[in-house]
Amino acid sequence: MSIDDVTIILVTSVLPSHPSTKIIDETIKSIRYHFPKNEIIMQIDGLRDERLNRKADYDEYKNKMLWKCLHEDQNILPIIFNEHSHQSTMMFKTMDLIKTPMLLYVEGDAPLEKEYIDWNKCINMINNGFANTIRFHFESSIPKEHNHLMYGLENGFMKTTQWSQRPHLSSVEYYKNVILPNVPQKTFIEDTIHGYIQEDCKH
């Protein structure tokens, strides 16, 4: 298995900065720094009822992104959700579009660091059963309140039961068989799964 066996899931929803595309443009650039040609499936969420006052700005943002997908960016498949679906429902509804064994989940406002990552080492860790998911830590240090969920360095990786939706690499089968069956519809994935992972690892 290699870097070509990774599909990027890029999630976007309404932000105060819309209709500007500056934030997601930076995130896409960071993805392309590491994955120049891989398919990106862009999940574009609908609006909550309480955000309908942002509809004009968000519609303009979506139109800009669709234009970019057609004319500027390569190999990006935009999936528009007409009603608010949130992370879990968007994943349920797009899993079957992923044709690779690995996925990299990236939130639209959480770009990857533009520095060297040994992706083949990461892929082999998961493929060989040493990890279910590899998370790329967004903060410069581990928060003190998470220290009890860290279990030491091994081969350059920190073992942990602390789940976050920040950028992470995972197998598609793990998402299908473990993550999505244990999260409700229309919710942040981490809101439910962080507790499930901690309990699962106790056993």
In the block, residue with structure tokens 């995130």: 27
Q: Note down pLDDT in tens along the chain; length 203 residues.
A: 899 999 999 999 999 999 999 999 999 999 999 999 999 999 999 999 999 999 999 999 999 999 999 998 889 999 999 999 999 999 999 999 999 999 999 999 999 998 899 999 999 999 999 999 999 976 667 777 777 777 778 888 988 887 888 999 999 999 999 999 999 999 999 888 877 777 777 65
Classify strands 150-154 and 76-80 as parallel, antiparallel or unpaired: unpaired
Residue 117 to residue 7: CA distance in whole angstroms: 16
At 140 the pLDDT is 67
Q: What share of the chain is helix, strand, coil (3-state, %, to 5)?
A: 45, 20, 35
CA dihedral defined by 33, 59, 92, 102, rounded to 10 degrees?
-10
Q: Give pTM, 2 decimals.
A: 0.92
At 73 the pLDDT is 86
In the block, residue with structure tokens 């700005």: 57
- Residue 108, both tokens: 């639209």
At 163 the pLDDT is 81
